[in-house]
Amino acid sequence: MSERTAGPATRTGGPGEQEALDADARDTTCRRAEFLLPPLPASARHPEVAYFAGNSLGLQPRAVRAAVLAELDDWALHAVEGHHRATHPWLPYHAELREDAATLVGAAPEETVVMNSLTVNLHLMMATFYRPEGERTRILIEDHAFSSDSYAVRSQAVHHGLDPDETVVRLRPRPGEDCLRTEDVVGHLAREGHRVALVLLGGVNYLTGEFLDIPAITAAGHAAGCRVGWDLAHAVGNVPLALHDWDVDFAAWCSYKYLNAGPGAVAGCFVHRRHVTDPDLPRLAGWWSTEQATRFEMRPELVPVPTADAWQISNPPILAMAPVRVSLRMFAETGMARLRERSLALTGYLERLLTEVIRDRPLEIVTPADPARRGAQLSLRVGGGRGGAGSGGDADAAGLADRLHRVHGVLADVRRPDVIRLAPVPMYSTFHDCWRAAEALAAEVSPS
């Protein structure tokens, strides 16, 4: 971990708080007023929550309620004819989301589709791109992969009659470090890539907030003859992406974190252009996988389209897609360049405050210090002991997160065994939120 440069102390309020308020007054990108904030516990000392859990579930945009009600009204008014006559006709509804989603991930529209949920999409992608043969059978993931990714790849190994303990290779950081180094991933692929069928890593690691070098790792995977896919659950809407130019084979993401589309929101998928035009690729198929022009002729044979739509299975859930449409429009209006600029400023400001707080406290920032290697997240290890050993670990982190919320109105989340994640989301978090988080940690964690 790089040494962090401490900024001026801000734990005493006064000028430190005014600095945050002045920064918010100058800001022109934040859209906080367009979101609904949850109520605070009665014991909290502030009138409004400082929400740092948007990397788990984003806040609800105020426009979502009207969008969902409009679909209910169209259902009541048009019934089955709503497929063609609704304000946003249901038959091509997913296509209305395509361009905004493609822009967000740096893709061509034909490479992008909004469908299903994240892990379902990963399974659909692996049905096409994980084709173990000979000694090339392994799936490469990070050791700190989200559990659902681990379950998915292990089940794919079993599906192909392979031993998941031998097939799934988990890359670990160097001893004493928390984050993977790009050169270590690239080096593994150079040495062992001939055994790897699929590389499937998280674009931004959920635990540490590390933003992996997607183009470098993708190139290394391809040089070794591997397919390379990315789980972008914590990357989409958080960091700039250029999936087409980076030559990624496929990617999938959810929409309920930084995209603010609601719990269990409809997810998204990217398939590179060179694959969408290949009719010989194996795919799992369903009604919505075939071309729209002949869909209702009920032919027994599939006629795939040369777009990512060919990986769709079922017709889109309209009531669930309305919030996604609202969210993607907000991102299109603001633009990822402006959001990234604000994110770097917010996260950097929070880091400066936290560096002062943790100087004499049993807390450690495990997120990379280099702003280019992280998204809108700083993860703190509580207790000072790696893995929580001898420090109370999980109980300390959970108890601290509870006090931050209950007493100070700062809502973060805990990841076992000993990590608290703070995500200053650029769409709605404020500099004053960051100041409050640092103040609350200083008040609740005693100096060593």
pLDDT in tens, the chain (448 residues): 333 433 333 344 567 999 999 999 999 999 999 999 999 878 777 889 999 999 999 999 999 999 999 999 999 999 999 999 999 999 999 999 999 999 999 999 999 999 999 999 999 999 999 999 999 999 999 999 999 999 999 999 999 999 999 999 999 999 999 999 999 999 999 999 999 999 999 999 999 999 999 999 999 999 999 999 999 999 999 999 999 999 999 999 999 999 999 999 999 999 999 999 898 899 999 988 888 888 888 888 888 889 999 999 999 999 999 999 999 999 999 999 999 999 999 999 999 999 999 999 999 999 999 999 999 999 999 986 544 333 344 458 999 999 999 999 999 999 988 999 999 999 999 999 999 999 999 999 999 7
Residue ranges of the binding site for pyridoxal 5'-phosphate? 118-119, 231, 234, 256, 287, 315
Q: What does the block give as tokens for 53?
A: 């859990």
CB 236 within 8 Å of CB 253: yes
Cα atoms in the Cβ-side hemisphere of radius 13 Å centred on 272: 18
Residues 396, 388: Cα–Cα separation, whole Å: 9
Q: Among 424, 419, 421, 420, which residue's Cα sits nearest to residue 436?
A: 424
Last residue within a domain, chosen from 334, 358, 378: 334
Per the CB < 8 A criterion, the answer to whether 63 and 432 are in contact is no
Burial call 22-48: b when 16+ CB within 10 Å, e when fewer = ebbeeeeebebeebeeeebeeebeeeb
Query: Considering the domain boundaries, does residue 227 fall inside one?
Result: yes
Q: Which two tokens stand for residue 264?
A: 């269990």
User: Looking only at Cα atoms, what is the longest distance across the chain?
Assistant: 72
Q: What's the pLDDT score for residue 5?
A: 39
The answer to whether residue 5 sits within a structural domain is no
Q: Kindly report the length of the chain.
A: 448
Residue 75 CB coordination number (10 Å): 15
Give the residue ranges of the annotated binding site: 118-119, 231, 234, 256, 287, 315
Domain range for 361: 15-61+335-444
Residues 19, 115 within the same domain: no
Token reading at 77: 């008014």
Q: Within 10 A of 345 (CB to CB), how many other CB atoms are there?
A: 18
Answer whether residue 344 is part of any domain.
yes
Let me know if residue 266 belongs to a domain: yes
Which pLDDT score is estimated for 349? Answer: 98
- CATH assignment at residue 27: 3.90.1150.10
Same domain, 429 and 358: yes
CB atoms near residue 397 (< 10 Å): 25
Three-state secondary structure readout of 379-411: EEEECCCHHHCCCCHHHHHHHHHHHHHHHHCEE
Among 296, 318, 334, the domain boundary falls at: 334
User: Do residues 39 and 142 both lie within one domain?
Assistant: no
User: What is the model's pLDDT at position 338?
Assistant: 98
CA angle at residue 208 from 413 to 269, to 5 degrees? 90
Q: What is the pLDDT of residue 303?
A: 84
Domain end residue (candidates: 284, 306, 334): 334
Angstrom distances, CA of residue 443 to CA of 4, 17, 377, 398, 400: 22, 15, 21, 16, 11
Domain-embedded: residue 10: no
Cα–Cα distance for residue pair 212/217, rounded to 1 Å: 8
Residues 90 and 185 in one domain: yes
